[in-house]
Structures are given as structure tokens and as C-alpha cells.
Amino acid sequence: MTQCIFCNEDEQKVFFKIKTHSFPYALQKCTHCHAYTLAPTPTTEQLDKAYNTGYYGEGEAKFNPIIEFGVNLFRSMRASRAVKGIPESGKLLDIGCGSGAFLNFLHKKYNLQLSGLEIEGDAALRAADQNKGFTLYTGFLQTTDFSKETFDVITIYHVFEHLLTPNEDLGKIQQILKPNGRLVISMPNIDSWQAKFFKDDWFHLDVPRHLIFFKPKDFKRMMQAKGFEIETERYISWEQNPYGYIQSSLNVLSKKHNFLYEFLKTNEKSAFGKRNLFQIGLHVLFAGITLPLFLLVDLFESLFKKSATVEYTFRYQPK
């Protein structure tokens, strides 16, 4: 049994075995901190393969122009929520900044001192190439030399679940975030109806890249113990949740896992071949027909805090 990557305890229980991956992974629950983690923890070689060029897309963006246009609309809404009420010329760090598109939007609209952190690789190269006004750092959070109490806001959008050392990274955030500073963090919700229904066909499980999950009640309790007081939690996400239903459903119906998602990226399409055109058409048709339904489903689920993803806003109050 794999040791918990959050608290390093050995007492784990298998939640379910993952049959949709060629490697025999399972999702396990820690009886100590209640984290759900991927077991065994992927090796460096397995993670390098999982984060190959195809994962980030090719060219200037990860997805085709139509999808990127929609994603940019949601980025603008996230930006408005993140910076609400912070001081003029405040300092913001986006951990896992990807291409830097979120930071570029902030630079265009707000007078802030912006920084982004991305691990070395294709995403960091894209961020450097498209940088329009932020300081880019490459590497892992633990190895950065940010001064204590530097940032007014730290954002970490759908990155926490990728971390190999999540507890240590939260400790680093405690050091570099100012007292009363804001932490905005979003992640998949393992307590969602979507996760419970689809299990290893769930799009947001994303084996082997997603390494850790928490139920919201456990995550908030753990964060409060670290001095992070919850301000808001947002369960509705038309950026993430409806597509999660679409792709998870297609994963059940099709033998090819995340087939439509991979097709929507900017990667070379020759790998799909002419023989897949009919299947691609069916997947796109399914997405178009079911999207209005899943938008309504997400609205309904958010009322019960059972949506597929959750965004938290915390205030840091050091103890």
C-alpha cells in the first residue's frame, strides 16, 4: 500500500481500483488525513510520459481557437473574483500559470505586480513567448526563493491535484502570503455526484496526472488548522463541470478514453486518421446535444455542493 503523499501515514484503504488505465492504479483513502490519493504514486518516468507535448497542445494555445475563446471568457470572470478588493498595485502569484493567459488578462485590465510559476517544459516556454507583462519563474514552488510575506493574492487553479508534495507546498504558501492575504484555489470534488457515478471513467480523475483529492469538508477543516479562513466556496463552473459530464459519459460509451478531449487540442490531427472521422462526428454531436442539459445539471448540483469541481477563497490569518 502506498504511503499518503499528504501526511505520510501508512494506513490506507482502497477506495476503488482503476480499470481504465493500462497500469494497475487504485484510488486510496487515508484514514488519518482523509485524502484520496493515487496508488502507487507514479514514478518520474511515468509522469514525464504523462506530461508529454501532447498534453499541452502544440502552437500558441492548448485548444483550438473556438475552445480557447470560451476558456478566455471564463478566465476573465476568474480574474475579477481573484482580485476583488486587493490593494492598488498589489502583488499576485499564479502557481501553475500554464501559458500565462490568465496573467496577461490581469495585466491588461488591472494595475498589479504579477508573477507566474510554471515547471520547466512546453507550457513554460509558451508562457515566456507570450508574456505581456508578468514575471515568470520556472521550477517547483519548494525551490523558489520568494521572500516571506510577499504576495497579497496567490491563485492555484486546478494545480493542487497535480502536486507531489501538497502539504509542503501549502507550507510554502503560508510563508510567502501576507497576513490577511487571499488564497484562491480550485480542484476536482471527489465528493461530487459526477465522481461517485463515473468512478474511474470520471474525466477529472485524469490518471496518472491527478495525484490527490479531498472532500470539501475535510479540505476546509485542514486549511482552517493552517490558518486559512474560508471566505467563499463556489461549486458552479460552466468552464469545467458540464464538459466533465460530456467526456465522462463518452468514456463509458466509447472504448477510447478522453477521445474528444484529445481531439479538441491543437495537436497534429493525423493521428486520428480518416477512419475516426465518423466517431469524431458522433462525439461532437453528443457534446452539442447534451451541453444544455449538463449546464442545467451543474446549476442544480451546485445548490447541494455536489458539483464536479470547487473553487475556494481563503483569507490567511497566521496563528
CB 59 within 8 A of CB 48: no
Peptide bond into 208 cis (omega under 30): yes
Backbone phi and psi for residue 162, each to the nearest 5 degrees, phi listed first? -90, -10
C-beta of residue 101 within 8 angstroms of C-beta of residue 163 = no
pLDDT of residue 190: 98
SS3 of 72-100: HHHHHHHHHHHHCCCCCCCEEEEECCCCC
Give the chain's largest Cα–Cα span: 61
Residue in the structure block whose three cell numbers are 476503488: 16
DSSP secondary structure code for residue 271 in this structure: G
Question: Collapsing DSSP states into helix, strand and coil, what is residue 249?
Answer: helix
DSSP letter (8 states) at residue 65: H
Q: Single out the residue of 155, 141, 175, 163 nearest to residue 214, CA to CA.
A: 163
**Cell 476558456, residue located:** 71
For residue 271, the model assigns a pLDDT of 62
Kind of pairing between the strands at 228-234 and 309-316: antiparallel
| pLDDT in the model for residue 310 | 98
Cβ-based burial of 313 (10 A; exposed 0-12, middle 13-18, buried ≥19): buried
Report CA torsion sign: 121, 245, 6, 83: positive
Residue 117's DSSP bridge partners are 95, 137
3-state secondary structure of 206: coil
* Pure H helices in the chain: 44-50, 53-56, 65-83, 101-109, 122-130, 166-176, 193-198, 216-225, 241-253, 259-263, 277-303
Per-position pLDDT tens, the chain of length 319: 689 999 999 999 999 999 988 899 999 999 999 999 999 999 999 998 898 867 877 777 788 888 888 888 888 889 889 998 888 889 999 999 998 999 999 999 999 999 999 999 888 999 999 999 999 999 999 999 999 999 999 999 999 999 999 999 999 999 999 999 999 999 999 999 999 999 999 999 999 999 999 999 999 999 999 999 999 999 999 999 999 999 999 999 998 899 999 888 877 665 666 668 888 999 999 999 999 999 999 999 999 999 999 999 999 999 8
The rounded distance, in Å, linking the Cα atoms of 199 and 196 is 6
Residue 202 has a pLDDT of: 98
CB atoms under 10 Å from CB of 127, counted, come to 23
Q: Classify domain 61-244+298-316 by CATH number.
A: 3.40.50.150
Distance of alpha carbon 295 from alpha carbon 245, whole angstroms: 10
- One-letter amino acid for residue 235 of the chain: Y
